[in-house]
Amino acid sequence: MATMQVHEWMINYTRQTEWIDRRGLFLWLAFYAGGLGGGLYLVSLYFNSLWGMLFGWLIITGIKGSAHLIFLGKPLRAWRIVFRPHSSWLSRGIIFVLSFALFGAIQMALTRWAPGSTAEIVFKVLAGAAAFAVSIYTGFVLNSVKAVPFWNSMLLPILFILCGVLGGFGLSVVIALNGGDVNLAAAEAGTRWLLVINALLIGIYLWRAANRETTGKKSVLEQIQGNLAPFFWIGIVALGIIVPLGIALVSHLAGEVSASLILTGVTCEIIGGLTLRYCVLKAGAYKPLVARPR
């Protein structure tokens, strides 16, 4: 009987590179832009902020759409992926983006020229549902890759959308500071609560991944002790959580802080969101196909 040749990638912790290295960096950007734009749009619907809706729409259709096309390559043929929604979360994601682009454009036009109409309410529901789908589907894209245990958690879609909504509240604060149609106090309150919730959810997600099986544990250790540790501790923990939360608490207790300090906090939130997705993609590794030979 012929014996199977065993390669290193079959028995060792093997990091995935397709979705984060080289052109994969555009997918990382697309994933974050979708969450941020969708989160901002949902928050703006809550505040009925037309400026926020417009910026969220532009982030998704402009930044996310362009980055996704660059990652897929051959844009004249990439559109064919929309015909595979039954088997591909990427296909569903593109359909969500196209639906959001259409519904969002119609809804914003109605909000501007026919506020309070039945049609506006209907399209607010449709655009909001599409924005929610754009924000959350990237978590399902990763969750569907069963060969990467670190991604195989239903907490990931929840973490991604809450991170996007957090960024949406942060950008709403910026809009309010520039005289936009957003309640500043409410936006800051939403930011404070979501910073705490996201910090707890990140901890739970990592704890569950580390205790599920060996490859997932190695992915966690890669972030907190390995090559990704500077990104995790500085980008996610320090800049993404501690600094903006500290600024938000000072603003709440003092009643007022400088606009530049608040903008610093929002910038740190965005850096934290980008870094979170970078670490999740970078730490993803395939589990071995066969047991290590003795």
pLDDT tens figures, 40-70: 999 999 999 999 999 999 999 999 988 988 8
Domain membership of residue 229 (yes or no) is: yes
As for how many domains the chain has, the answer is 1
pTM: 0.91
* Rounded Cα distance, 274 and 270, in Å: 6
Domain membership of residue 3 (yes or no) is: no
Domain membership of residue 274 (yes or no) is: yes
* 7: confidence class by pLDDT, cuts 50, 70, 90: very low
Domain residues for the domain of 44 are: 8-286
Domain membership of residue 292 (yes or no) is: no
Domain membership of residue 97 (yes or no) is: yes
Q: For 70-124, how does the pLDDT look when each residue is reduced to its tens digit (9 = 90+)?
A: 887 776 666 666 667 766 777 788 889 999 999 999 999 999 999 999 999 999 9
* Rounded Cα distance, 13 and 93, in Å: 29
Domain membership of residue 265 (yes or no) is: yes
CATH number assigned to the domain comprising residue 257 = 1.20.1630.10
Q: Apex CA 66: angle with CA 62 and CA 67, to 5°?
A: 120
Domain membership of residue 291 (yes or no) is: no
What backbone phi and psi angles, to 5 degrees, belong to 225? -130, -20
Domain membership of residue 2 (yes or no) is: no
